[in-house]
Structure 1
């Protein structure tokens, strides 16, 4: 097993554990929002004048509307400026009463003051054209029963308002907005029912509209080739568009890998292979294809499992443009770094097979299309071909984009939708974090990485996002005598991206890191360069040149992570995808080099850097699938219903209490000896993307789950009260929850995204009484959007716990006996 650990005990899987209780905490008031100080009369007069001008301009726009283009509900878009500190009040711009809804469609930094203001665009039906004027008039003339101006929270927060145009709906960096007359591919995010309206307008305006669509609960996303003027015509004549972004039509795959010397050992290794049957799990490579004639690929890639998403493309990996990238990924996904198996003479037993679906064209780029759609089509082809086979999807194709804030894109949201699978067809999706664009001087190591944000679509919540680490530091090629490795052993691979520049509310990415190779440093000038000695050995696509090649960076790391996912699937049939992702992260740890960046007494800010640079660290297959007597892992797969409807109100529903079978007497006997409890909670959310301020009503995630461990001094009622308080505080935008001493990260750092992992460190005597753990829900759009009727859905989660003692005490047998299961020892 890795790290020399002898792990022979199968993890303890607990079924039927957990007591379901109703968990209904009161809705929070949303926290206290500080309003700007206003002269009431002057502020009302300013807004009334601005609104009157905007409504007059809207009437003029309506009079000029082209009846051949016009469609949908008659109305117009207004753009409001509001202070960033008043973001929680954005929802008050909406009015859902009656049939004619005012909808918040897009939120972005204001052009006039992007640091301090937001611009929020709403669609206003003609029937409600006077609503905002009425709100401002009531603010000026009326008081509430408490003596405050009526509508004060909303009206006092508004800085300005104007008639909105196409530019108002553009949520990418405004500097990227196409110039007048410039044709560009746009991602058009449509309001509900907007597609036929857009299709009609596009036909009249002679606009190219791609047929493929990516669907979300409240949005459809299509690609349109148009000028800003043509897009503006659609905005002024219809109610179809909610949001505009630029289409990222060319994925960036950074390949800087020279072929290694020819080796003729491939056939010898192939003769030592022990190949699994066709029903074994698979790694499905979504890339440039694979080279099936290769003797190390053909035994585990059936001809029918080699496909392309575009049915007319050849399926082989032959394009010089991609340099055999898909074949290189294939070799690592099957064998890992080939250096060790080639040097061995032992039989090599493979646990999984290979699938390949080509998503990159042999020449040029794909025609502009939605990569979310392409990815979905590629996955579907593999699943239709072998519907009973479990698999891990491997995607190392990424694109640059304005995702430095961590916000979802149509592609990343599609990955979340594919992983969630409507709640009953979940998928394991492993995606690359992306590479820094080019090599840089060694003196800029880590600074360049920390400034390079993770690429699209690796911000997906449900995907396992993989960065790169390296242990490769030995340079044997005499040509490079005197050169040194750029990254220290155990630290970040030089081109791996991070999420240090992301906003705190977005998930921790990468989730984990795998080997991605290193770069050499020229002692003459301090510049870095590719060296074969510091890369990973894998399969080559051009067999006439050689059977082996090298690969590095986050592509290599992603292939290795996919391999580990398939190995876990092969180890135990029926694993949930949520569990596989959880086990990989649960097994991970930071290397000494990573921990070396922390001061002696690290603060939360230091730990945040660690998380957003390395994720949870380097996974360990041995820990992911086996326990030891003094290092016991329990796995619970369970379900819960986060919300329910009570009359007309949606409330939180279930809280699950798990009473853990701790060996209490043994732990108490260890007394003050230090022990660890690691807890990982893994679940998938249903996405609802769209740049609408990410307020309560417009959250991205359908729901959230959290865990809490009972403290020694707490009875059940006190424990329940603490959880309720923590849930209320988080709903109000805080992560208080009472910082529990002993947790390495704590809820403020760990409770991001849909994967939460933390380690409690303390005495054995203290842990003896920490045997209760609760899983409970937090808010999401399932709760806020009643009309979408998701409030009664159940969700799955994997809860993984490891109890680790320093001594060789046998905790495993005691726990197994308490549960009533036999001790399972791996003998092979």
Structure 2
């Protein structure tokens, strides 16, 4: 059966002359207060008390150089019991009252709310001017009756207005608030309450500062001789620094510097190392090394962000010259200080083939390396000062990219010390920002989902496996929306051993996203081999044994050139190496495309699909049951054959394009354009198959610019600068009708709508659930003659934080995306050639490379 290179197209999409997105939802308003006059008087007393506190602190702030107009303090508003605080679209940079953070509370999540009560909290920064403004608005709130306020009084100097019925500015804030008070350290603390450092203890804090005020804060830290760790990290509205101090010191810095937006726990990168070596075969290493053919100088590189790599290893040396070994700290050295990095490098370079190469010995064919390696030590050696994880990854990227080259990043460590509830952290946001890279030269990071912590003293308790490690959630930066997050499954079995994981199921210690309380995307994206466990005689615990691990290179030369590794570290290195080999095969692919294809080619094993069946037995809907699977295994294990090539019965279209999501309409930002793709569809071949069941997959992959404070302001949907969606033409629809579903201004004869055209059955995930993240994948199964009619697809934008910024030039910013669409028929349909028919329908000049067979 012939195999083909994928069909690679650019410029296929067309933007309609007119576009207007579909409308969004509405904000729920609180119930009316019983006595507005008494309520307003109580709030006024709170604000007057804050005025006295502001007077007291102003002299201290002036003494350290705070300008009078910037002098202020953080204020917390507590919501009425059972009501949601209404805050509009305020940010930390809006004029007047500046919103720093929002905490929505639900009774099951916090014991202090009894009898089903609920209280939201919001923290603001106020100065004398904005406090006066609040008091004037409160006067109007107290005096308000229906029709009492004219339209001219409803305008505001920021985004929070009363509404269309002429209520005064801040009306809904006052209506939903129970009290205003001075903010405390607890209010600014964004991690779990139990992680807040105790009074009197020195701890490392991650401090989020307002842009433009960071130097004031740093100067005061230096003046007080308080230690700092790492370098500042800049984001959209904030600058992050790490400070080693007591809670009392931090409280005083908050009070006098006017700079602090939020406080979190500090983090650093760490990796789990099992120092096991295989028995025998050591004399075969030289035989394998003699067969290696170095990669070409232009070969793409897998950049290992780890503990360093021992590049003197005979199996690694030709792919990793000394000048490509780096460290973020000079005194760490570039060699491997604990062994984890060298093991990752071996898997990235050879995948799982090393075992086979050793069995072949010197008699095997030459091993042509198509990819190279690069190394940066980002994990501190024992006894060295830790570097904040976000700082480490930023410095590592800057170090290697002094020499521009195509590369894929492998980050098999995790950010220890950050929350694992799915919320974006400083490290995941830093990774997303690096991957975005202004949307031009995007970067691909393969990151580990993380592992259940074990040790010889506390081995894995295999009873946890029944729930697939439900209580152990994916660790940062695995929740990053621009990352390719890798979990672990296993095919490792052995006769006579009592195994924990069935073949094809989750690797025993791999973390999942099942327990996430906040979800930005379905994670992990994929899984790869991470090894299996043998049960201990005690019947309770389990551990890895040699035959159930992955063979790789080892740092301990010359005695132990081979080592064993496992868990999500092995899986991540394997995924990064596979993505790099894909880049070597298709060097013109964008990073968005590489990520999309890795997910697009993945498949669930029978063991993974059993979780779907279990969900159905528990009463889940089809889509809910598949969501269980996605939270545990992602989209499964990449199928290398499908990843690298198409076939007569497996067509893969790779379409790369861009659009400008926003435009300026007077003083606001609005959605600008969509793109419609008329696909080069093998309609005749599909029609001839009639009722045969076929499979279609669609993957939309793009990167977005992150705003890590979005979640703190309770606007999770604004974490990304923009979002994109896809919607496929349905059987019985015209191209115009298909576009009308996502474009209010599509030109279509509404009387010409076939019966049933609005239904879209057959998807595994469905439109509502696949909207999360910045890569959207779904699988459709149905009849071939129905698929023959589905030859159009709409790509359209959804608002993110760019739409809140009338300044910044975002109305002129184009964003790139990759669309991967594939069709698979049964092998019995081999008399048809889907690929050849599709290529003949690609418009002239849009094919990036000519159709060619491949030997892969």
- TM > 0.5: yes
Q: Give the superposition deviation at 1:359.
A: 1.6
Q: CA separation in 2, counterparts of 1:607 and 1:644?
A: 37
Summarize the Cα distance change of 1:503–1:175 in structure 2 as closer, same or farther, 3 Å threshold.
closer
Q: 2:776 aligns with which of 737, 740, 756?
A: 756
Name the counterpart of 1:419: 435
CA contact (8 A) 1:90 1:693 kept: no
Q: Does 1:297 align with 2:297?
A: no
Q: CA separation in 2, counterparts of 1:185 and 1:96?
A: 27
Summarize the Cα distance change of 1:155–1:698 in structure 2 as closer, same or farther, 3 Å threshold.
farther
User: Within 5 A, what are the aligned runs for 1:708-723?
Assistant: 708-723=727-742
CA contact (8 A) 1:108 1:691 kept: no
Q: Give the superposition deviation at 1:155.
A: 2.2
Q: CA separation in 2, counterparts of 1:147 and 1:348?
A: 74
Q: Give the superposition deviation at 1:221.
A: 0.8
Q: Give the superposition deviation at 1:523.
A: 4.8
User: Within 5 A, what are the aligned runs for 1:611-650?
Assistant: 611-650=630-669
Q: 1:379 aligns with which of 397, 413, 421?
A: 397
Q: CA separation in 1, counterparts of 2:195 and 2:572?
A: 31
Q: Give the superposition deviation at 1:206.
A: 2.1
Q: CA separation in 2, counterparts of 1:712 and 1:232?
A: 62
Q: Secondary structure at the match of 2:409?
A: strand
Name the counterpart of 1:108: 103
Name the counterpart of 1:773: 793
Name the counterpart of 2:180: 161
Summarize the Cα distance change of 1:181–1:524 in structure 2 as closer, same or farther, 3 Å threshold.
closer
Q: Does 1:562 align with 2:576?
A: yes
User: Within 5 A, what are the aligned runs for 1:111-260?
Assistant: 112-113=112-113, 116-145=118-147, 150=168, 151-210=170-229, 212-249=231-268, 251-260=269-278
Q: Give the superposition deviation at 1:401.
A: 3.7
CA contact (8 A) 1:22 1:655 kept: no
Q: Does 1:326 align with 2:321?
A: no
Name the counterpart of 1:488: 502
- Structure 1 spans left out of the alignment, 5+ residues: 1-5, 476-481, 728-736
Q: 2:852 aligns with which of 804, 824, 827?
A: 824
Q: CA separation in 1, counterparts of 2:47 and 2:10?
A: 60
Name the counterpart of 1:11: 6
Q: Give the superposition deviation at 1:425.
A: 1.9
Q: 1:80 aligns with which of 77, 83, 103?
A: 77
Q: CA separation in 1, counterparts of 2:697 and 2:786?
A: 15
What do you get for the CA RMSD once the two structures are aligned?
A: 2.6
Q: CA separation in 2, counterparts of 1:65 and 1:14?
A: 59
CA contact (8 A) 1:68 1:204 kept: no
Deviates most, 84-93 or 133-142: 84-93
Summarize the Cα distance change of 1:409–1:678 in structure 2 as closer, same or farther, 3 Å threshold.
same
Q: Give the superposition deviation at 1:348.
A: 1.9
Q: CA separation in 2, counterparts of 1:594 and 1:95?
A: 44
Q: CA separation in 1, counterparts of 2:346 and 2:485?
A: 20
Q: CA separation in 1, counterparts of 2:491 and 2:475?
A: 24
Deviates most, 585-594 or 197-206: 197-206
CA contact (8 A) 2:230 2:388 kept: no
Q: CA separation in 2, counterparts of 1:563 and 1:549?
A: 18
Deviates most, 557-566 or 49-58: 49-58
Q: Give the superposition deviation at 1:116.
A: 3.4
Q: Does 1:552 align with 2:569?
A: no
Q: Does 1:49 align with 2:49?
A: no
Q: Give the superposition deviation at 1:628.
A: 0.8
Name the counterpart of 1:21: 16
Q: CA separation in 1, counterparts of 2:804 and 2:701?
A: 23
Q: CA separation in 2, counterparts of 1:590 and 1:257?
A: 31
Q: CA separation in 1, counterparts of 2:2 and 2:102?
A: 52
- Structure 2 spans left out of the alignment, 5+ residues: 148-163, 747-756
Summarize the Cα distance change of 1:271–1:558 in structure 2 as closer, same or farther, 3 Å threshold.
same
CA contact (8 A) 2:420 2:474 kept: yes
- How many residues end up aligned between the 2 structures? 798
Q: CA separation in 2, counterparts of 1:504 and 1:350?
A: 42
Q: Give the superposition deviation at 1:252.
A: 3.1
Q: CA separation in 2, counterparts of 1:125 and 1:655?
A: 43
Q: Give the superposition deviation at 1:40.
A: 3.5
CA contact (8 A) 1:217 1:688 kept: yes
Name the counterpart of 1:40: 35
Q: CA separation in 1, counterparts of 2:463 and 2:186?
A: 41
User: Within 5 A, what are the aligned runs for 1:447-458?
Assistant: 447=467, 449-458=469-478
Cα deviation code 1:488-529 (max 9, x no counterpart) = 000000111111122454111111101000010135524212
Summarize the Cα distance change of 1:609–1:504 in structure 2 as closer, same or farther, 3 Å threshold.
farther
Q: Give the superposition deviation at 1:548.
A: 0.6
Name the counterpart of 1:336: 351
Q: CA separation in 1, counterparts of 2:818 and 2:41?
A: 56
Q: Give the superposition deviation at 1:185.
A: 1.5
Summarize the Cα distance change of 1:466–1:29 in structure 2 as closer, same or farther, 3 Å threshold.
closer
CA contact (8 A) 1:213 1:370 kept: no
Name the counterpart of 1:686: 705
